[in-house]
Copies of this chain bind each other. A is one copy, B any other.
């Protein structure tokens, strides 16, 4: 027997409709790509998004067509998302940090029909124009006055275009499983793979992340999404902020400490989310300028290993609550957050801090398990490392355009490629990527754990640990260190520093000083590139 409640498809256009109706005056403030800080509201953004839907339809965009964006976090980018998704087309977010050939690969794989680009990225895109046969139109997200520098007569001007169209457009009305967004993983192995979000998955991710154990933002918050809309959906904030009716502050392309600090203070930001490097830049700026944070209450950090010192500085020196989160493109992206529970709040402060540094607990809507290589469940004892697998309504079930690629196990779980532990409090900790874990004598050594510890050395700017071939142990860890400017250090300085902090058999067999460590397009260490560089290296212990 079926229930008798209303049929109300979970489509994301309803999110902006809600913001328009109940929080129409709430602002969206943007540090524009053109320069000045510009202000609009949810009501106005709703009207402009509808104009854009009409324009795209007139350009031949049909439901299901892919329309790409290559843009910073701005109100125009937000309008563009809703315009595309509301009409049933698929919003494909392009990551400008990708190499040009990867960008072309992705555009061609998705068969994008139209691309909307910021002024910043227009030259990059137009230089590759002839390598994108499916792309019929490029729209530059600016006004007519700034089109002069673009230098392509075929490129359309966003403002000029939408001014021609009316505000009436019927969004939604389709199956909630309709594709809404497309985002390619950074592809550290093989080609990038496309995650095809549905309206339902985005809507449910929004509701779940609005809960008090994840982002928990409300109509009382002022939200600054520093995490980009072009990668992992700005952690869903482009949906959750309007859903909550929170004022939204968009940082555009200027993510340096001074620019971020200025926005935090001038707009009264209460909540923000970013990767550690951005927070580190802000912290450096605050220290150099003796700056304060007078309105910021909470920040969520994720996307890469978080230095302890950073978390302590925000908490202790600036009174900002920091929580650590984990997720990936395939999880929409939030999977866990290290929010305390009544049980963990009863622990001593140091134990609480240890839990805070873990990646945290999954909310209702994310099932999570830890398995060995054969798929057998492993205990939640905080010690046993295993493959981390997830399941849920906003977790990928397949990749776009990959025929017959079954990516789920027999219980329907997706293998995250991460290796981690889960403790008795339900807190998960990532110890490594499965492909980066160092297999030494049949046991696992966490490259990330050694890296994080080594990063605590005052002379270290960046550290990486990879496994090197060893005739007896199979693999042994090697530490690569990029020193801070003007620093000098020896192999022994680092080994002494690690001594006592990790098990003896985890101690690196070698320490190498390098002038750079390669990073991937999302700012993480590119271990694939590093292993390629190191392919002729031989351990002293293996010689």
Contacts and interface: CB of A to CB of B under 8 A. Distances in A.
Given A211-B210, A211-B211, A220 B4 contact: no
A85 to B, nearest CB: 11
A230 interface: no
Interface stretch (A6-14, A430-438, A525-533): A6-14
A391 B219 contact: no
A426 B23 contact: yes
A387 to B, nearest CB: 17
A104 interface: no
A33 interface: no
Contacts of A400: 4
A204 B178 CA distance: 19
Contact of A218 (B26, B64, B206, B213): B213
B221 A393 contact: no
B207 A217 contact: no
A338 B27 CA distance: 21
A200 B367 CA distance: 18
The number of times this chain is found in the oligomer is: 2
Interface in A168-225: 175, 177-180, 195-201, 204, 206-208, 210-213, 216-222
Nearest to A215: B212
Interface stretch (A239-247, A250-258, A473-481, A501-509): A239-247
Interface in A35-57: none
Given A212-B212, A245-B341, A393-B10, A196 B364 contact: no
Contacts of A7: 393, 397
Contact of A1 (B4, B179, B343, B399): B179
A29 to B, nearest CB: 13
16 contacts: A2-B175, A3-B196, A4-B179, A4-B196, A4-B198, A5-B200, A5-B396, A6-B393, A7-B397, A10-B393, A22-B426, A23-B426, A207-B208, A207-B364, A211-B218, A212-B218
A3 B177 contact: yes
A91 to B, nearest CB: 12
Contact of A6 (B175, B246, B342, B395): B395
A238 to B, nearest CB: 14
Contacts of A195: 4
Interface in A254-268: none
Main secondary structure of the interface of A (DSSP, over half): loop
Contacts of A362: 22
B218 A4 contact: no
A73 to B, nearest CB: 20
Instruction: List 9 A-B pairs, minimum CB-CB distance, nearest first.
Output: A3-B198, A212-B218, A219-B341, A1-B64, A5-B201, A8-B393, A207-B207, A6-B397, A4-B196
A5 B219 contact: no
Contacts of A219: 213, 339-342, 361
B25 A343 contact: yes
- Which of A207, A208, A394: most chain B Cβ within 10 A? A207
A419 to B, nearest CB: 20
A364 B197 contact: no
A90 interface: yes
A246 to B, nearest CB: 8
A426 to B, nearest CB: 4
A218 B340 CA distance: 9
Contacts of A90: 1
Contacts of A395: 5-6, 8
A15 interface: yes
Contacts of A364: 14-15, 18, 206-207, 243-244
A512 interface: no
B213 A6 contact: no
